[in-house]
Amino acid sequence: MTAQPAEDRPEREAGKGAASDALPRSVLFLCGRNSIRSPMAEVLAKRRLPRSTFIASAGVRPGQRDPFVDAVLAEENLSLGAWSPRRLDELEDSYFDLIVTLAPEAHHAALELTRTMAVEVEYWPTLDPSAVEGTREQIMASYRDVRDYLRAQIERRFSPKPTADET
């Protein structure tokens, strides 16, 4: 994925996250087909997290690239580049410190995958914008809503907590 090359991603110290004590070293965003929600989350997380954090996305089933994702990411000066969807079983390594699931079927797959591993799994229920019908603008609005929701979730989850001195 070429949303933001590692050398262009900000260096941030591993701080305290909203849901755990330290930033994970590796994060997988998992959804149904790796064509809308998880690639959006991957690009947004790569913008937010330090270069030292490995970030990937996958789906539990095969999917196809969605042009509406490209359009809403372009509004934020982000791009998937030459990226293409991949399935969970196509990943070279299935160990991640954190797996964020964005769809019920992905959550079940992650729990099954990690039942014998010490891996944190978080479920962020995220609507599938491809289910929205209507005008192009109505469809784009649903994709923007997902992008903005994911950005807010990533900020909340991976932002440092204030220390006792800062509160």
Distance (Å, whole) CA 116 – CA 105: 19
Token pair in block for residue 120: 């944190």
State mean pLDDT over 131-143. Answer: 96
Rg over alpha carbons for the chain, rounded to the nearest Å, is 16
Summarised one tens digit per residue, pLDDT across range 28-40 is 999 999 999 999 9
Q: Quote the pTM value.
A: 0.83
- The structure tokens 């989850």 sit at 157
Task: Please tell me whether residue 28 adopts helix, strand or coil conformation.
Answer: strand
Helices (H), the chain: 37-48, 67-74, 104-113, 136-158
Report residue 70: phi and psi, to 5°. Answer: -55, -40
Cα-based distances in Å from 68 to 52, 73, 102, 105: 29, 9, 18, 22
| pLDDT for residue 116 is more than 60 | yes
In this structure, what token pair is assigned to residue 13?
């110290």
The confidence band for 161, taking pLDDT boundaries of 50, 70 and 90, is: low
The answer, yes or no, to whether residue 11 has pLDDT greater than 90, is no
Sorted by where each begins, the domain ranges of the chain are 25-158
As a CATH number, domain 25-158 is 3.40.50.2300
For residue 97, pLDDT over 80 is answered with: yes
Please check whether residue 25 is in contact with residue 97, taking contact to mean a CB–CB distance below 8 angstroms.
Answer: yes
pLDDT mean across residues, the chain: 85
Pull the structure tokens for residue 161.
Answer: 């907590």
Q: How confident is the model at residue 15 (pLDDT cuts 50, 70, 90)?
A: very low
Could you report the per-residue pLDDT of 61-94, keeping only the tens digit for each?
999 999 999 999 999 999 998 889 999 999 887 7
